[in-house]
Amino acid sequence: MNESGRVEAFSDGVFAIAITLLILEIKVPEAGENGGLWHALGEQWPSYAAYVVSFLVIGIMWVNHHQVFSYVARVDRALMFLNLLLLMVVAAIPWPTAMVAEYLREGKASHAAAAVYSLLMVAMALAFQAVWWHLTRTGHLFDSRVDVEGARRTRVRFALGSLAYPATVALSFVSAPLTLAAHGMLALYYGFNQVPVPVRAPDGVGAGAGEGEA
Amino acid sequence: MNESGRVEAFSDGVFAIAITLLILEIKVPEAGENGGLWHALGEQWPSYAAYVVSFLVIGIMWVNHHQVFSYVARVDRALMFLNLLLLMVVAAIPWPTAMVAEYLREGKASHAAAAVYSLLMVAMALAFQAVWWHLTRTGHLFDSRVDVEGARRTRVRFALGSLAYPATVALSFVSAPLTLAAHGMLALYYGFNQVPVPVRAPDGVGAGAGEGEA
Amino acid sequence: MNESGRVEAFSDGVFAIAITLLILEIKVPEAGENGGLWHALGEQWPSYAAYVVSFLVIGIMWVNHHQVFSYVARVDRALMFLNLLLLMVVAAIPWPTAMVAEYLREGKASHAAAAVYSLLMVAMALAFQAVWWHLTRTGHLFDSRVDVEGARRTRVRFALGSLAYPATVALSFVSAPLTLAAHGMLALYYGFNQVPVPVRAPDGVGAGAGEGEA
Amino acid sequence: MNESGRVEAFSDGVFAIAITLLILEIKVPEAGENGGLWHALGEQWPSYAAYVVSFLVIGIMWVNHHQVFSYVARVDRALMFLNLLLLMVVAAIPWPTAMVAEYLREGKASHAAAAVYSLLMVAMALAFQAVWWHLTRTGHLFDSRVDVEGARRTRVRFALGSLAYPATVALSFVSAPLTLAAHGMLALYYGFNQVPVPVRAPDGVGAGAGEGEA
């Protein structure tokens, strides 16, 4: 059955829509009396920064989501539900993005906005971890290429990698702009350093890493 | 012909867009003088609750829609039209979601908002029932796996299950927050307890339930 | 080459998004002092009517678009461009929908709003006609099932059917609510009475109509 | 692996959503006391012009994106990342579109708005060039039909073609309406004159241009 393909297509839709809705956060500025439109455009830099960072976050999350689901052959109710939780967090990202953009230079409020943004990233990491744990725990949802034992062993590395997100919550109370920059760098890092899905060696001798070109 | 696939893909698009538009309902709060942004964020809890419930409602409805359409091989005009009615209701959900969020603590208005939300859920259940009745009445739109007689017998169970929705309309006049919670629980219930599509036994001896892993 | 499939998938996306954006036109009403939220909800009936009519218009246009493209095997530059024009009109529908809803009871302005709505429908009919004329004129873009001569002969019927749209422009200056109702009825009419795509008889004796269940 | 198909489907989604969000830029006008709704509608012409031009820009960019990706068989991390950059620019287009529409008749501010619009087009051209350079430099990401040497030779022509975009930035400081018209004409030009992807001759004698009907 093509269960996995259906879930992927729906998830892709949500990722694509959430990433494209981010632009609604950037408003057309008022060309005030001092300096005109150029000045007003310059004043909006937090909106541009938040757009770029959230675009990377959702884009890279999409890449990783697909990387994992390309090894999934079957979908059970629990996986459907955990995936829905993950999408619920991803679809919410335009909201803290707009909030961080609005409050980035606002002292105390900037810390609150950055913390909410970071907490949403923690929630996203947890939901993605939950998907991975469920897949590796059950095993039989993977397609036949996957080395299930090897996949189970990646869980600790995977979880350790996610510890960076709670750290950004703490960073939020130091500096909101730094927190936003940290999320941009984390997205780039995960874009170029994924935990690979371990695949069986064709001859059964060892296990390779099924990341390939993706 | 790949009629069914086309209708499914279009429907998936509408589901994915409606579920992602829900976030537009949550506004960036004004950081007032009393308590700042954290306080303002806390005051917005009805928006978060409405977002989570409507996300579950649309997400689970999508799962059930696909469950049924995965057994549909042909699409006639009436099915096209009934499906369009269902999508018209699903696409409207962001509107009562925003309304419930805005009025959840507003006394009399909260009852009206919750009742409109519940009435939309009644409309969604009726449209989905209409799709199911049309499929089971005509029979020939199903693919060959489906036990049409068995499918007809599910109609009463299916209809009884939908009686919970009119009950939430009544509950709206008691308590809007309770009504919202009820819709969240109904979505979860239908997420884990679908009426299965009956399939033919391979050897023609009996009829099983074609739900499998989905 | 799978050219036609690519254009169809992109077009489907635009149809699905435009139809789902319609809900953004319906605002959460202000619960005024007189009569509360129920009264305010009742006052919004033009928004509901406009939502339902435009949903049907886009939904049925999608059905017809697919009906035609399911017989298209190749896409040339002109078809790509004409299809883009059609999508440009379809994607614009949420705007006159919101305008008709806002001005439906506003005397002179209601006529202007209804006329703009109707003019957009004229533009949509013209763009769809242009697609059909290009397909029947070139012939070689159809797949092999299509009876090209028969398809050419449908052009007059097809064009006559579209004369109803200019008539709604005239009707706009009589009554905006009647105009909206007329568009709803036209959508339903075209939903159940399409000009079929003529197909070759398998044995070459005669020509049938390739509409089937769709 | 179907890597290329996944990236294309996601990109299509972003293109389709960005093009459909353009309509949110056109507001329902206020029917003022002088001349009523018709007058107010006429006053909005910059919004219609900006809508049409940006619709063409995104639509033609989509055609060209697909033209190139239909020859891509494999996707590496760098291509994924460069494509994400391109989508980041495309998804941002609704914002300068709304800005150009709002300030088109506003003297100094019109120049700033047109310049930002043009700069985004420069960014889009650069991102698309980067995708093309990466594909031709690596070579092995193309499918077997592509004449890699021939593709490399197109890079200069491709780059020269993009010089029109920086010129529109200069034009912005002369006239914003002219700049908008120039972008419309550039989109049409690139719609009908693409740099073709060179393909191998089937017999290895020469190289043709793999544009065909698309």
Rg over CA atoms, chain D: 19
Contacts of A76 in chain B (CB under 8 A): 213
Cβ separation B36–A112 shorter than 8 A: yes
Name the pLDDT band for C1 (thresholds 50, 70, 90): very low
The SS3 of residue D123 is helix
Which whole-number Å values give the CA distances from D151 to A185, D129, D142, in the listed order?
34, 13, 10
The mean pLDDT of A11-21, rounded to a whole number, is: 96
Indicate if the pLDDT at residue B117 is higher than 60. yes
Q: What is the pLDDT of residue D32?
A: 73
Tell me which of D15, D58, D75, D81 to substitute to probe the interface with A (most A C-beta atoms closer than 10 Å): D81
The answer to whether D129 and D159 have CB atoms below 8 angstroms apart is yes
Q: Work out the percent of chain C whose per-residue pLDDT is above 70.
A: 91
Q: What is the pLDDT of residues B38-95, one digit of tens each?
A: 999 999 999 999 999 999 999 999 988 988 998 999 988 899 999 999 999 999 999 9
Structure tokens at B19: 């579920």
Tell the burial category of C174 from Cβ atoms under 10 Å away from its Cβ (0-12, 13-18, 19+): exposed
The answer, yes or no, to whether residue C205 has pLDDT greater than 90, is no
Confidence of residue C155 (pLDDT cuts 50, 70, 90): confident
CB-nearest to A88 from B52, B62, B212 is B52
Nearest CA in chain C to D8: C6
> Does D175 score more than 90 pLDDT?
yes
In angstroms, the CA B14 to CA C182 distance is 26
Enumerate the residues of chain B whose CB falls inside 8 A of the CB of residue C26: 92, 95
pLDDT surpassing 70 at residue B210: no
Selecting from B10, B18, B87 the residue whose C-beta is nearest the C-beta of C12 gives: B10
Q: Give the list of residues 6+ apart from residue C8 with CB closer than 8 angstroms, or none.
A: C66, C69
Alpha-carbon torsion B125, B126, B130, B133, what sign? positive
Task: Give residue A157's identity as a one-letter amino acid code.
Answer: R
Where are the extended beta strands (E) located within C1-130?
A: none
pTM for this model (two decimals)? 0.91
DSSP A136-159: HHH-TTB-TTB-HHHHHHHHHHHH
Cβ contacts of D12 on chain C, cutoff 8 Å: 6, 9-10, 13
Please tell me the distance in Å from A52's CA to the nearest CA on chain B: 19
| Distance (Å, whole) CA B48 – CA B25 | 9
Q: What is the band of A184 on the pLDDT scale with cuts at 50, 70, 90?
A: very high
What is the phi-psi region of residue D19: left when phi exceeds 0, alpha when psi lies from -120 to 50, beta otherwise? Answer: alpha
**D115 CA to chain C: closest CA distance, Å?**
25
- pLDDT of C210: 45
Q: What does the pLDDT read at residue A122?
A: 96
Q: CA of D39 to nearest chain A CA: how many angstroms apart?
A: 24
Q: Mean pLDDT score of chain A, rounded to an integer?
A: 88
ipTM of the complex: 0.89
Are the beta carbons of B14 and C12 separated by less than 8 Å?
A: no
Give chain D's mean pLDDT. Answer: 88
Widest distance between CA atoms in chain C: 73
The arithmetic mean of pLDDT across residues B166-177, rounded, is 95
Residues of C in contact with D16 (CB under 8 A): 10, 13-14, 17
Q: Which chains touch D (3 or more CB pairs under 8 A)?
A: A, C
Please report which confidence band the pLDDT of residue B2 belongs to, taking 50, 70 and 90 as the band edges: low
Tell me if B20 and A18 make a contact (CB, 8 A cut-off): yes
Distance in angstroms (rounded) separating the CA atoms of residues D178 and C95: 26
Angstrom distance (rounded) from CA B41 to CA B46: 10
pLDDT at A163: 85
Give the pLDDT score at B179.
97
Q: Which of A75, A108, A112 sits opposite B214 (nearest CB)?
A: A75
pLDDT tens, residue by residue, D18-69: 999 999 999 999 887 667 899 999 999 999 999 999 999 999 999 889 889 9
Give the side-chain half-sphere CA count within 13 A for B74: 17
Task: Identify which has the larger pLDDT, A179 or B106.
Answer: A179
Point out the residue among C41, C62, C214 whose CB comes nearest to the CB of B116.
C41
Q: How far is B14 from chain A (nearest CA, A)?
A: 10
* Between D155 and A124, residue with greater pLDDT: A124
Question: Max Cα separation, chain D?
Answer: 73
Cα angle, residue C58 at apex, residues A9 and B124 outer, rounded to 5° = 65
**Per-residue model confidence (pLDDT) at position A192:** 77
Q: What is the pLDDT of residue A34?
A: 66
pLDDT at D196 over 70: yes
pLDDT for B195? 66
Return the higher-pLDDT residue of C47 and D155. C47
What was the pLDDT predicted at B34?
Answer: 66
Mean pLDDT of C104-129: 94
End-to-end CA distance of chain B: 24
Q: Check C51 against B92: CB less than 8 A apart.
A: yes
Predicted confidence at residue C101, as pLDDT, reads 96
Q: Do C88 and D9 touch (CB under 8 A)?
A: no
CA distance B194 to D106: 59
Which residue on chain D is closest to A188 by alpha carbon? D81
CB atoms within 10 A of CB D202: 8
Is residue B182 over pLDDT 80?
A: yes
pLDDT confidence of residue C2: 53
Structural domain boundaries of chain C?
3-209
Token pair, residue D51, equals 């809508």
Residues of chain C with pLDDT > 90: what percent? Answer: 60
Of D179, D197, D188, which is closest to residue D135 (Cα–Cα)?
D197
Question: What is the model's pLDDT at position D152?
Answer: 87
Query: Which of these, B145, B148, B142, B146, lies nearest to B73 by C-alpha position?
Result: B142
| Chain centroid, CA B43 distance in Å | 28
Backbone angles phi, psi at A26, to 5 degrees: -85, 115
What residues of chain C lie within 8 A of the CB of B14, using their CB?
Answer: 16, 19-20
The 10s digit of each residue's pLDDT in A95-127 is 999 999 999 998 889 999 999 999 999 999 999
What pLDDT band is residue B168 in, cutting at 50, 70 and 90? very high
Block residue for tokens 């989509």: D62
Closest among A80, A108, A122, A81 to A176, alpha carbons compared: A108
Per-residue confidence (pLDDT) for residue D139, from 0 to 100 = 87
Does residue C209 register a pLDDT over 60? no
The pLDDT score that the predictor gives to residue A1 is 38
Mean pLDDT along residues D143-164: 84
C16 versus C70: the higher-pLDDT residue is C16
CB A127 within 8 A of CB B52: no
So what's the pLDDT on residue C195? 66
The SS3 of residue B208 is strand
Please tell me chain B's helix, strand, coil percentages from 3-state DSSP, rounded to the nearest 5.
70, 5, 25
Mean pLDDT calculated for residue range A131-142: 91
pLDDT at site B203: 55
- The whole-angstrom separation of Cα D60 and Cα D190 is 7
Confidence at A214, pLDDT banded by 50, 70, 90: very low
For residue C79, the Cα-to-chain-centroid distance in whole angstroms is: 18
Least confident of A51-60, B187-196, D116-125, D147-156: B187-196
